[in-house]
Each structure stands twice: as C-alpha cells, then as structure tokens.
Structure 1
C-alpha cells in the first residue's frame, strides 16, 4: 500500500503526518475511483476528512463503496468515463472498512490522541458552516525515502503489465521521477524520457477500448463500455506531467501563467498582448483549458478574446 504524508500546518507531531493510501470508490451519483487515506492521528480522507465515527457513517450511507454495480456509470478523474458492464470485486463494505481501520492500527498501534469530531463534521465560523476537515493536502512518499522525499502529487493513468490493464495513480515527484508501478505499495521510478517511451509503446496509456478488462490492485477487476477519454493526445498527457513537476518546484504552471497573461491583457489590450494570451492559452493541455477561469464561466472569457463569440462555449 502506498503511503502519503499529511501536510497541514496544524500537525503537531511527526507521526500525525504519516498515512496510508488504498484504492477505493466514492458514490456521488456515479462511482468515482479514488484513493482512500488513513492517517496516524485517526483522520481519514474520502473526498473530505472523517474521524472513525464518520468513516463508519460514510460506509453505511454508501458514500464509500467497495464495488461498482453492473450497469453503473464510472469515472476516473481526468482520465475516462464509462459504464461498468461486469465486475469481480475483492471487498464488501465491512472488509474494506476493516482494512482502513487496520491501516490506522498499523500507523498508531496505541490508538493515542485520535481525532474525534464529537458527532459533528462541520463547524460554524461567523455564521457560516464549514467542514472541520475539507480538502486534505497530501504528498506521496517513496519506499525507503520517507524523510527527505521530494514533494509529489498523483494523477490517474493505465499501465499494461503481463497482458493486464491496471488503473493506477501515477506518483509524480518534484525531481522529475514518476512511479509507474501498478501494484499499491510497490515502486518503479522512471524519468520523463522513459515515460514518453512507455506512452509510445502503449505500456502506459490514458484511454482504453470498450470491453477492456481493467484491474485496480486489491480492489477488483471490471469491464467498461461507452468509454469516453478525458485526455486527447499523448502530447497533452506529457504536458500535464511536466506542468505538475514545474508546480511542485514552485514554478507557475501553464494555467496560472495563462491567467497572469490574461490579467495583463485586461490592463493593456494590444494586439501583442492578445497574441501572448493565445500562446499561453494554447500551451495548456486541451483537457485542462476549462480551468483557466472561474467555476461558472470557465475559460469562456479567454476564448472570446482569442477566437471571438462563435468559439467561446463548451457543451457540458
């Protein structure tokens, strides 16, 4: 099982930062592949922070799921959408729940100083309700290098190994190495050159054909139909990985750079600045361009500047 370090300013002790990530599914209308995380201080992450009590509630409500029913819609963020037509699963709710509890036990055998929400997962600040623990920032950790491991982040992809297609979280590190091993807890580090070679040889891919058998290590195996990929080219996929490495090193990524150029254009609307904006926008991987804006208008304002009104909207 991969480990993750919890990076929170409020963390008071080193062991509070240690965590374990396992594969899981969130049912929020559709079923979404994710990493479920357990931390040594009793905090769990399933698209938001949970204590032991709320972890149990999320399993009972079906928010955390061990499997995808046949015929249900499935999604892996920034990778694919599709429908599961058949599946074979390793867990039921009880066993997946117990696996997370066991992970906590391995991280904190004495069960000391565990976080307790005291029955409420929200708190009120100035009359507004906030989740006690919302988005939890984590970084993957390399095997045998937990103390000085470079910062990292994950993005989903498919790895082909011995004839089987695995859905995996790639671990991308600030030093330019990427963990492409399909088995949780194992490791195979490659550089960008090798990652490009894997894409070209189809060992690594960002889309699969209908009726492909997909395995998620220790969770199950299933087939999908009606597959809709989210990434449109290998160039876009590699650009996104390179963008991640830049951001992990504190360098603005392509989206942030585009927004800065957009601000400059708004101040000084010259043909030269419009061309700079066009270049900055088109440098963003196509599947990420919608994020060059706010949640409502997305990249519409920038597209209208560059291409005119006839090419400013997406169909969602």
Structure 2
C-alpha cells in the first residue's frame, strides 16, 4: 500500500542571505530539491516594521510560528537591496509518527544545501562581488509544521556564506533557482573567477593568479571548441588542436585567428597573466596584491568575451 503524501507548510532557511532587489520580493517558484518538488515564496517588505516579513499564503503559518521566526526572513540593507534569509515553503512529505526523526525530511535538508550551493554560485557570479565564509551554523534547512502546530526541523547544519553584492533581479533569482533544480552548475571558468576572488581576499595571491589564468584558459579553450564544433569538426581533432596550442597565449592566437576578439591585448596577457601564473605555479613565486588584481581583471575580461554568462 502506497502511503499518501501530505502537504506541509514551513520555512526554508537559506545558509546565508541572498541580496535581491524589490522586484524579487514575494516571488513564488516551484523548485526541485533532491527528489522533492518544493514551492518557495520569498518574503515581502512590511512598511510598518520596516523589515521583511513572511509572505501571504493560502496555508498560513500559526501565529506562534510567525512570531518565532519573525527575524529569520531578512531585512532591508539600504535603497533597493534586501537580504533575504528565508522563504516560505510548501512540501509534500510522507507523514511520520515523529516528523522530527523523519529520514525523508533529513534527506531533503541534505539535498537543500547542495541545491543552494548551486544557487549561491550563480547569484555570486551575477552580483560581481566577493565571497567569504562567515557567520553561525544553521540548525536546520527546513522547519515544517505538524499537527498541533508543532515545529520540527531537518537537523542539518552548515557554515554560513556571506555574499556582498549588487541586488539580484527577479529574473536572476528565478534563473538561479531553476538552474539549481536542474543541477546546472555555474560554468567552470566562472567558478574559477570566484575562487580567484576569494583567494585574493584571503591574501592567497599565488592561488589567485593561478585560478585567474586557469579561468581564462578554460574559457578560451571552450569557446574554440564551440566554434569548431559548429564547423562539424570532430572532437578528437579539436582536442588535439587545443593541446598543441600550448597554453593561454597559444590559445589566444588560435581564438583570434578564428576571427574573435578578447577585449585585452596579447601584449598585456603575456606578462600580466600568463607569465605571472607560470612563475606562481612552477617556481613558487608569491605575487603582490596589485599583480593578482591585474591578473584577475584580465581573466574576467577574457572570460566575459569568450564565454559570457547569460543575463539571468
């Protein structure tokens, strides 16, 4: 006999706040987290309290729950930037005698953090700002309301991640949620740019220039592959051609030879990106912050030209 699932209203706690614009407040989106379909609704701005509040819903949370989590929704950071820390959730779950120990709810919580990791990296790439591990651990990914208005949690914890950035648009929030639901990770060249940013912020300038140069190399190689596949050339031929290019500068020559532009000259890329990466990677040389900053700027230009992110 198949156990009938029941819809549980609750709250989904983001590992750390997402920075969004006012047009994203109140957004409702159906997402897939692990094997579960979950309806998430972002909070709205309450002008009376001047902070974010739980969104209106056809399945209202009990007043005691609204009160207990009144500070979880987030706040206005200034202007049109809001820090959203939680969303109202609606989930179909198999009822259990003790939902607090439900394996299904626990697995959902574990899947949620993997899902949010994808959301977070897309959001960070669009915001264009730095990333840092900070903040307290969170006791649960989800709190759901059982019979009698009891509150149970999924019991998973994760260190917080701080995102400083320009506000995400409604379309970008939707794009991040949908990509995470499909398991579509941020492309590696853009992830490497984020890694380089984080390394530079932490003072690891050697890692910053290595990741910056790798991001540029991956982006150019991928763009060359896309171009040549459109010409019906075989993957084996393309792979061999890229290997023979011999690194960033060889790939730049090949890419430009195919009729493309990168937005930064080879005369700058060679000494300020390629050579500093080689010295850092093969000689253990530690560059300065200014050198790492320049390398990252060039890499960002190359990646933006060769493999730009979609707008949302």
TM-score, normalised to structure 1, is: 0.27
Q: Which has the larger radius of gyration?
A: 2
Q: Which has the higher contact order (CA 8 A, sep 6+)?
A: 2
TM-score, normalised to structure 2, is: 0.27
